Amino acid sequence: MSNINPNPFTTRPEIEGTFGVVTSTHWIATAVGMSVLEKGGNAFDAACATAFTLQVVEPHLNGPGGDVPVVLFDVRKGHPEVICGQGPAPAGATIAHYRSLGLDMVPGTGLLAACVPGMFDAWMILLRDYGTMRLADVLTPAIFYASEGHPLVERANATIATVEKLFRQHWPTSAAVYLRDGKVPPAGTLFTNPTLAETYKRVLREAAGAGSREQEIERARKIWSQGFVAEAIDRFCRNQEVMDTSGRRNRGVLTGQDMARWQATVERPLMYQYGRYTVCKPGPWAQGPVMLQQLALLKGFHLDGLDVTGPEFIHTVVEASKLAFADREKFYGDPEFESVPIETLLSDAYNEERRKLIQHTASLELRPGSVEGFGAVIKLKHAQPPAEEGRGGAAAAMGAGEPTVGRLGEMRGDTVHFDIVDRAGNMISATPSGGWLQSSPVIPELGFGLGTRAQMFWLEENHPASLKPGKRPRTTLSPTLALRDGEPYLAWGSPGGDQQDQWTTQFFLRHVHARLNLQEAIDAPAWHSEHFPISFWPRTARPGVLVMESRVPAESRTELTKRGHIIELGPAWSEGRLTAASCDGRRRKAAANPRGMQGYAAGR
């Protein structure tokens, strides 16, 4: 039984049930999460099993060496929380060191861009403090698919093909895993990673017999951060010189000591009241507050009843996003190191003034706000034509940048995202990423490579996002959760780097103001702005550029062009990778994106 809301673009229903719902970016992971719920686990157990499985079946999108922010609602506690699985910069990662290597940016690939891997400890905190199952219960599916094989998805095949030459010439440890018999494995190949399977088997063996469930998890955390995993990472970074986007071979600076001294943390989310809804995001160590800033700007406009594919709606939302993302560039950073004026940035008074900048025509300037004593000067680097710049073929062949949706919709891969709501009403939204197969070479004893999130730091002093040892990079990863009338209601998110908080905002506004159901709000024609600097190497901007699906009506595109937007048209279904899950009384609802054949939803 589904509630269908007719609208101009689709009448696709949501998945609906009362037991629980799971969404993710891979069908195997979705099925694994649902199976955990059916075995009696809660949403947080299912999340751990889903996450470890995603590392195996989508290695071009995330891996054990990556990072993750989590937003959750535990009905026992009665309030939302954030788990920060974003590891910090190593102790040896100083601006002086990188400058001494002749660098003006952190490379987009290789070992110099590695932060402390944050995923494993975040999932262990989630399992220990919120879950009910034992470690083996959530690791066994990942071990099975890594050992016995899974059908290699088309985009993994294409990603491996893109970096084949890099693997052959410079990263032989990656070639050994991903070039089977010396060739790119075809899509659909039953693909295995026995070394990764053995890594997780060894964690289980060494953690076994520790006593209680919680003691076993604690031992696993120590094995990862101080045992054989940390030792292998330390060895590889000390002894290997690895080719990266600088065009030179560099050693890493990540050490076992860096691994040992970091732990994932639990934080209160930032929250913003938007009508009936309380929207919850990670803090300014992530880009999440940029969605809240967009809402703070947009609540001064009357959006109810506007055509969500019409020029007035699109123009207003795009111009608000330009202002919010400009503030991201100027003010955001790790609040453990930097003073971020987040209360001001979300305040009514500040946004009332900023809102006056949204006029009938498109802005072609980057216009951050002014808060005395805070922020930094932004130096814009304009993008070159697509064939020449960092998002073009040469950089892609070096594995550079986040493997996200291309400018005109072509997919080079993506991050992963999942949302889960269980029968009790527990809710979780998570966006695991980093440790991509194409961005850092495989550590041969472990079967996975490191992340490259440090490329988001600046190598200039006195910027909130400047590189400092122990500091978290200002990540793009941005899961979302919302309460409605004070009750947990909706979890949603999307892969997509700088586009994440554009697509998630569009989805929310369609759902709230146009009353579209979850699936309809996902399916509606979408867009993204490239007006502001991208967060990944080479950190370029394309002022005024608005990329949109060809399904946006021609009359809307014409009017937006008249208003000064530089329209670039993508294929009909090319924007966004959204999934969403909601809790509406006894009913559990979920929806997933048809774009790229990458999103799946299940429930019963």
- Find all residues with CB under 8 Å of 138, minimum gap 6, and list them: 36, 45, 48, 49, 52, 123, 127, 131
DSSP structure class, residue 152: P
Structural domain containing residue 288: 270-384+478-591
Q: Which two tokens stand for residue 596?
A: 């790229």
pLDDT value at position 391? 41
* Phi, psi dihedral angles at 170 (to 5 degrees): -130, -30
pLDDT over 80 (residue 3): no
Q: Is residue 514 included in any domain, yes or no?
A: yes
Give me the pLDDT at residue 399, please: 58
Degrees to nearest 5, angle at CA 282 with 281 and 284: 115
pLDDT band at 6 (very low <50, low <70, confident <90, very high): very low
The tally of domains found in the chain comes to 1
* pLDDT attached to residue 220: 98
Q: Which residues contact 293 (CB under 8 A, 6 or more apart)?
A: 323, 324, 327, 328, 345, 346, 351
314 alpha carbon, distance to own chain's centre = 24
pLDDT number for residue 1: 27
Q: How far apart are CA 374 and CA 462, in angstroms?
A: 10
At residue 7 the predicted structure's pLDDT band, cuts being 50, 70 and 90, is very low
Mean of the per-residue pLDDT values of the chain = 92
Q: How many other C-beta atoms can be found within 10 angstroms of the C-beta atom of residue 555?
A: 11
Which of 576 and 35 is assigned the larger pLDDT? 35
Residue 362 falls inside a structural domain: yes
Lowest mean pLDDT among 143-152, 161-170, 305-314, 388-397: 388-397
Residue 105 lies in a domain: no
Instruction: Say what the pLDDT of residue 535 is.
Output: 87
Q: Where are the alpha helices (H) located in 526-599, listed in sequence order?
A: 554-562
User: If you write DSSP's letter for every residue of 292-339 in order, what string do you get?
Assistant: HHHHHHHTTS--TT--TTSHHHHHHHHHHHHHHHHHHHHH-S-TTTS-
pLDDT per position as a tens digit, 280-293: 999 999 999 999 99
Residues 6+ apart with CB under 8 A from 317: 294, 298, 505, 506, 509
307 pLDDT more than 90: yes
Q: What whole-number percentage of the chain has pLDDT above 70?
A: 93
User: Contact 457/78 with Cβ under 8 angstroms?
Assistant: no
With bands split at pLDDT 50, 70 and 90, how would you rate the model's confidence at 17?
Answer: confident
Q: Please give the Cα distance from 122 to 258 (Å, whole number).
A: 16
Residue 483 within a domain: yes
pLDDT band at residue 536, thresholds of 50, 70 and 90?
confident
Find residue 428's DSSP bridge partners: 72, 420
Confidence bin at 48 (pLDDT 50/70/90): very high
Q: How many Cβ atoms are within 10 Å of 572's Cβ, its own excluded?
A: 13
Name the band, by pLDDT with cuts 50, 70 and 90, for residue 537.
confident
Q: Which letter does DSSP use for residue 275 in this model? A: T
Lowest mean pLDDT among 10-24, 279-293, 439-453, 559-573: 10-24
What is the separation of C-alpha 178 from the centre of its chain, rounded to a whole number of angstroms? 24
For residue 447, is it left (φ>0), alpha (ψ between -120 and 50) or beta? left
How many angstroms separate the first and last alpha carbons of the chain? 11
Q: What is the mean pLDDT of residues 160-185?
A: 95
Q: What are the tens digits of pLDDT across the range 518-529?
A: 999 999 999 999
Give the model's pLDDT for residue 601: 92
> Is it the case that residue 387 has pLDDT exceeding 80?
no
To the nearest 10 degrees (0 to 180), the angle between helices 213-226 and 228-239 is 10
Do the domain assignments include residue 183?
A: no
Extract the tokens encoding 191: 């693909």
**Which tokens go with 549?**
């699906």
> What's the confidence (pLDDT) of residue 405?
37
**Residue linked to tokens 């991201």:** 328
More confident residue, 203 or 395: 203
**Distance, CA of 478 to CA of 86 (rounded, Å):** 11
**What pLDDT does 408 receive?**
31
Local structure of 582: helix, strand or coil: strand
CA-closest candidate to residue 354, choices 298, 280, 315, 412: 298
Backbone angles phi, psi at 462, to 5 degrees: 65, 30
Q: Are 184 and 202 in contact (CB under 8 A)?
A: no
> In angstroms, rounded to a whole number, what is the distance separating the alpha carbons of residues 365 and 350?
19
Contact call for residues 171 and 243 (beta carbons, < 8 A): yes
Domain membership of residue 42 (yes or no) is no
- CATH number for the domain spanning 517: value is 1.10.246.130
In this structure, is residue 414 part of a structural domain? no
Strands (E), 451-544: 480-484, 487-493, 527-529
Per-residue confidence (pLDDT) for residue 375, from 0 to 100: 82
- Cα–Cα distance measured from residue 596 to residue 576, given in angstroms and rounded to the nearest whole number: 9
Examine the pLDDT at 30 and tell me if it is beyond 90: yes
Residue from 429, 416, 417 nearest 483 by CA: 429
Confidence of residue 9 (pLDDT cuts 50, 70, 90): low
Least confident of 284-293, 385-394, 595-604: 385-394
Residue 304 · residue 345 · CB < 8 Å: no
Report pLDDT for 75.
Answer: 97
Q: CA 177: distance to chain centroid?
A: 25
pLDDT in tens, 332-346: 999 999 999 999 999
Q: Which residues sit opposite 271 in a β-bridge?
A: 280
Taking residue 573's Cβ as centre, other Cβ atoms within 10 Å add up to 18
| CB of 354 closer than 8 Å to CB of 344 | no
On whether the CB atoms of residues 439 and 404 are closer than 8 A, the answer is no
Cα 97 from Cα 119, distance rounded (Å): 27
Mean pLDDT throughout 140-144? 98
Q: Is the pLDDT of residue 8 over 60?
A: no
Q: What percent of the chain has pLDDT over 90?
A: 85
In-domain check, residue 580: yes
Dihedrals phi, psi of 191, to nearest 5 degrees: -100, 135
The 10s digit of each residue's pLDDT in 54-97 is: 999 999 999 999 999 999 999 999 999 999 999 999 999 999 99
Q: Is 150 helix (H, G, I), strand (E, B) or coil?
A: strand
